[in-house]
Amino acid sequence: MRYEIQGGMLPSVDVFLEAGESVYTESGGMAWMKGDIDMSTNTRGGLLKGLGRKLAGESLFMTTYACRRGGAQITFTPEAPGSIIAMELDAGESIIAQKDAFMAAQESVEIEMHFRKRLGSGLFGGEGFILQRITGPGVAFFEIVGDVREYDLAPGEVLKVDPGHIALYEPQVDYDITTVKGLTNVLFSGEGLFLATLSGPGKVWLQSMPLRNLAAKLAQFISTKSS
């Protein structure tokens, strides 16, 4: 399987399949396709796994696209302006992603729920308690809102982040939540009460425009127009 990512802030990814190759995505995730393709939709792994994916921000049903003969092309597009990241995962290699970040993957890639190790980081992090764990082998595609910044944290190196800006991180990265110090900082900084603390070693991918920030900004114009 090969692929090409096209475009800027409104990107798309073209996935090219040969006979016998397949790729799957959440229900409704395909934009367009051509070639002799067999399409099948199911809960992929059973109802319990489907419900787990639902809790992690994906659809209950997943659709698989398999090339029957010749060559085929399937194009996927993100739900909001941003970026597409392709990751080639080895067997057993995993990546942790925020809810709704998964876009599509080869048939050999698995997606499941991932619980944050610390209850506090889930209850107070602002982005929920359940994440996505995507495990290889195979290529997986992720949709990231806004631009992407990648950091390779050294052992013990700490990065403090607004939780909404975390897109992906490697499983060995330690994730925790800390409180913002100082009453005036909490009340008037606009950063909220909590910050995420990411500790190395490991890679972290951050997104420049969390979806909730984009939605809040658009809501201002919608409410102004309505009034």
Which of 194, 136, 141, 203 is closest to 164 using CA atoms? 194
Q: Which domain holds residue 207?
A: 2-226
169/178 Cα distance (integer angstroms): 18
pLDDT per residue over 115-147, tens digit each? Answer: 665 545 444 444 445 788 999 999 999 999 899
- Residue 187 Ramachandran class (φ > 0 left, ψ -120 to 50 alpha, else beta): alpha
pLDDT in tens, 141-180: 999 989 999 999 999 999 999 888 999 999 999 988 776 6
CATH of the domain at 209: 3.60.160.10
Q: How many domains does one find in the chain?
A: 1
- Is the pTM higher than 0.85? The answer reads no
Closest CA to 22 of 74, 93, 90: 74
At 72, is the secondary structure helix, strand, or coil?
Answer: strand
Digit-coded pLDDT (tens) for 48-92: 565 555 555 556 688 999 999 999 999 999 988 899 999 999 999
Query: Beta strand pairing status for 22-26 and 30-42?
Result: unpaired
